[in-house]
Amino acid sequence: MNLDGAGNPLSGSEGALIAHTLLGDGLPREAEDHLWQAGLSYHLDEIAEKHLHEAQALAPGHAAVLIGLYRFYFYKARLAEALEVAKLCISKAARENGLLDDWRRVSATDAAFDCYENSLPRFYLFSLKAYAYLQMRLGDLGEGHAAASKLVELDPTDKIGAKVLLDVLERMGQDDDR
């Protein structure tokens, strides 16, 4: 499957902005130090992952740690593990937004999804986009399609860029028809 152009939903400038907004609150200094060490030792998989797990032990469920774990697994092509972290991010974002835990039952009026400046709903949307993308990459196209369709429902102006995932699926379907 070629998802080039679909991108990593929790990376780049959007992921950095979300991380910056969500991450400062309540992160113990020692956990932050482990995140920095993980970044500095990224090329040494075992050491970097050990630092990430130390940060997780010190600040379980903290968005900074979850995004760090997600990025590590994603860029190391450990997509099944990245998917598990994306699920944790969805659950965390759902709790913090006062949403139902099942993303299928969330509606556009349940949070300020239309307010791009509001970091908590945006974190939810990007986490769901990561989930959709990874489901597609891992071959569960139906689940990926359902999640991407939910994103378009929650974000009809497509500020999050979910339509590109649906476009990829549509092109794949056209290729199958040939």
pLDDT one-digit tens code per residue, 95-116: 999 999 999 999 999 999 998 8
Residue 86: which pLDDT band, with cuts at 50, 70 and 90?
very high
d(CA 95, CA 62) in angstroms, rounded, equals 13
Look at residue 117 in the predicted model and tell me its pLDDT.
85
What is residue 176's predicted lDDT score, i.e. its pLDDT?
60
pLDDT at position 146: 98
* Percent of the chain whose predicted confidence (pLDDT) is above 70: 83
For the cut 50, the answer to whether the pLDDT of residue 173 exceeds it is: yes
Helices (H), 24-117: 29-40, 45-58, 63-75, 79-97
Say whether pLDDT at 13 is over 60. no
What is the average per-residue pLDDT within 153-172?
A: 94
Q: What is the pLDDT of residue 5?
A: 43
Tell me, what's the pLDDT at 26? 82
With b for 16 or more beta-carbon neighbours within 10 A and e for fewer, the 51-61 pattern comes to bbebbbebbee
Q: What is the pLDDT of residue 4?
A: 43
Q: What is the mean pLDDT of the chain?
A: 88
Provide CB contacts within 8 A for 133, sequence distance 6+: 3, 6, 7, 8, 9, 144, 165
Confidence of residue 10 (pLDDT cuts 50, 70, 90): low
Q: Give the helix/strand (H/E) hosting 59.
A: none
H or E element at residue 13: helix 12-23
pTM of the prediction? Answer: 0.84
Residue with tokens 């903290």: 62
